[in-house]
Amino acid sequence: MHRWVPWIAGFSKDFVEDALNRFTNGPGVVLDPFAGVGTTLIEADLAGHEAVGFEINPYAAFASQTKLQAHRADIDRLRAAAREFQEFGRKALAAGTLPRAAPPAGFRTRSPFYGPHVLRKVLLALDFIERQEDARIADMFRLAFAATMVDYSNYSYEPSLGRKSSVGRPEVQDYPVIETLAAKIAQMADDAAWYRRERRGGGRPDGRVHAESFFHGYEAVAQGSVDLLATSPPYLNNYHYNRNTRPHLYWLGLCKAPGDLKRLETLNFGTYWQNAREQGQVEIDPTIEDDEIRETLAAVRGRNPDKGIYGGAGWANYAALYFNDCIKFVRGAKWCLRPGAVALIVIGNSILQGVHVPTDRFLAKIAELHGFQVAGIHVPRGARVGNSIVNSSVRAGQAANGHGLYESVVELRRP
C-alpha cells in the first residue's frame, strides 16, 4: 500500500509497526495530525486500530483516504477496468480520437508541463476516468494518474519541482502513458486484495482523514480517546509541500486558482520563510518561558543584518512562527490523548543562518511547559542526508559549532 504514492517526506512502515507493538495493548485509536499520504494510518488500520488523521494538503488527504478505502474496492471490476482502459487507449490513439478533457485552466508553468503527444494521451486517460460509474474505482484511477503524472511530464523533483531542462535533462517527447497507468492500476488491484486479506478486526470504523488543519479541527476527536499519536510534522527547513504538489492539486481538480494555494500556505505548520520575512518582528509566544529557545532565536535574528529580511531577521520570524505553532500542536495532542498515552514525533533539527536550532529539544521543552512528560528524545538516524532544500548556502551547511543535520523521535507522555 505504501508504494502507491511517492512522497518527499515521511517515516517507514517499520517505525509505525514498532510503535504500535510497543505502545498499544489491543485495538485502540491511533492519530496522525500530519497524515501525509497515510503511512501511520494504513499501518494502524491493518493492525486493527481505529485510524484518524488530519491533513491540509487536499492531494495527500485524497491519497490517504483512497488507500484506507481500498479494502472495499471491487477488485474484479478494478482489474477489468484496467484491461478496458488499455483497449480504450489503443483504439482511441489508432483512430485519432480527440479528447474531450482539457488541461486545468488555472494551471500555469514556465514551459509546457506535457509535450503534445503526452498531453493527448493524458487527456484521453482523463476521459476514461470521467466515465467510470464506480466512484471508488474512479478515485483509484485518479490516484494512479496523480502518482505517475510527473514521470512523463517535462518537470521533475530535484528535490523541489522544476523543469527537467533546468537540470540538464531532456524534455519528454512521448511516453507510454496508457500502459503505465494500466500497469499501476493492476498493481493497486493486487495490493488492495492483499490489504483486504491482511486487515485485522471487523466491526470498527474505517480509517478516516480530516482534510483540514489539526490546529483547527482536533476537537472533532473525542477528548481523551487516542491511545497513540505518531506523526512527523513539517520540519523547520522551508520545504514547500503544497507548492510541490501543485500539478496534482490542479489536475485532480482540488485547486482552481492561486488563491487556493495561498489559503493552504496560511494553514501550514509555521507558514513559510517567504511569508514570514515580510512581517514585522514576530515575537515568540510568552508561554515559551525558556532562555535557550529565546537566545537561539535572538542569535538567528542578529545574523547578516545588512541583508534585511533576507538575513537573520526574516529567518528568525520564520522560526518564531514555527515554535508558536508547536504550542498549538501540543495543545491539540493534549486534548486528544488519554492519560498515560504516548505521542511520538519524528522531527529534524535545523541550521538557520549558521545557527544550530535543535528543533527536537525545543519541541520537547514546549511540550513540557504545557503539561507533557518528556519520556525521551531518540536519534535513530544520526545524520540526515542533505538536499538543496536543507543545505542551501542561506540556511545550512555546518553550523559554526560543527552541528550537522539529524532526525530524532521525541517521545511525550500525557500525564
Whether residue 177 is found in the same domain as residue 311? no
Whether residue 102 is found in the same domain as residue 188? yes
Query: For residues 383 and 404, is the Cβ–Cβ distance under 8 A?
Result: yes
CA distances from 122 to 66, 129, 131, 138, 293 (A): 21, 11, 15, 15, 50
Q: For residue 111, is it within any domain?
A: yes
Domain boundary residue, one of 147, 180, 197? 197
Q: For residue 245, is it within any domain?
A: no
Q: For residue 386, is it within any domain?
A: yes
CA atoms within 13 A on the CB side of 314: 17
Question: Which DSSP string corresponds to 155-208?
Answer: EEESSSEEEGGGGTPPP-----HHHHHHHHHHHHHHHHHHHHHH----SSPPPE
**Which pLDDT does position 8 carry in this prediction?**
74
- Reference 122, options 292, 262, 251; nearest CA is 251
Q: Give the CATH number for residue 310.
A: 3.40.50.150
**Which pLDDT does position 395 carry in this prediction?**
40
Q: What is the pLDDT of residues 345-362, one digit of tens each?
A: 999 999 999 999 999 999
**Which pLDDT does position 242 carry in this prediction?**
83
Number of domains in the chain: 2
Whether residue 336 is found in the same domain as residue 291? yes
Whether residue 331 is found in the same domain as residue 397? yes
Whether residue 221 is found in the same domain as residue 361? yes
Boundaries of domain holding 34: 13-57+206-235+272-413
Percent of the chain scoring above 70 in pLDDT: 94
- Reference 378, options 400, 350, 347; nearest CA is 347
CA atoms within 13 A on the CB side of 218: 21
Whether residue 90 is found in the same domain as residue 183? yes
Question: Which DSSP string corresponds to 116-170?
Answer: HHHHHHHHHHHHHHHT-S-HHHHHHHHHHHHHHTTTTSSEEESSSEEEGGGGTPP
**Which pLDDT does position 384 carry in this prediction?**
52
Q: For residue 302, is it within any domain?
A: yes
Q: For residue 112, is it within any domain?
A: yes
Cα-Cα-Cα-Cα torsion 242, 245, 247, 251, nearest 10 degrees, comes to -90
**Which pLDDT does position 392 carry in this prediction?**
36
Q: Where are the beta strands (DSSP E) in 191-300?
A: 208-210, 226-231
Residues in the chain, pLDDT under 70: 9-10, 381-402
pTM for this model (two decimals): 0.93
Whether residue 302 is found in the same domain as residue 345? yes
Whether residue 224 is found in the same domain as residue 361? yes
Whether residue 51 is found in the same domain as residue 120? no
Task: Quote the CA–CA distance of 346 and 218 in Å, as a whole number.
Answer: 19
Task: Quote the CA–CA distance of 361 and 379 in Å, as a whole number.
Answer: 11
Q: For residue 381, is it within any domain?
A: yes
Q: For residue 357, is it within any domain?
A: yes
Buried b (16+ CB within 10 A) or exposed e, 5-26: bebebbbeeebbeebbeebbee
Domain boundary residue, one of 197, 219, 253? 197
Q: What are phi and psi of 47, to 5 degrees?
A: -80, 0
Whether residue 182 is found in the same domain as residue 218? no
Whether residue 210 is found in the same domain as residue 97? no
Q: For residue 309, is it within any domain?
A: yes
Whether residue 345 is found in the same domain as residue 226? yes
Q: Is 345 helix (H, G, I), strand (E, B) or coil?
A: strand
Q: What is the pLDDT of residues 307-339, one digit of tens each?
A: 999 999 999 999 999 999 999 999 999 999 999
Domain boundary residue, one of 145, 168, 197? 197
Q: Is 339 helix (H, G, I), strand (E, B) or coil?
A: strand
Q: Is 381 helix (H, G, I), strand (E, B) or coil?
A: strand
Buried b (16+ CB within 10 A) or exposed e, 279-315: eeebebbeebebeebeebbebbbebbeeeeeebbbbb
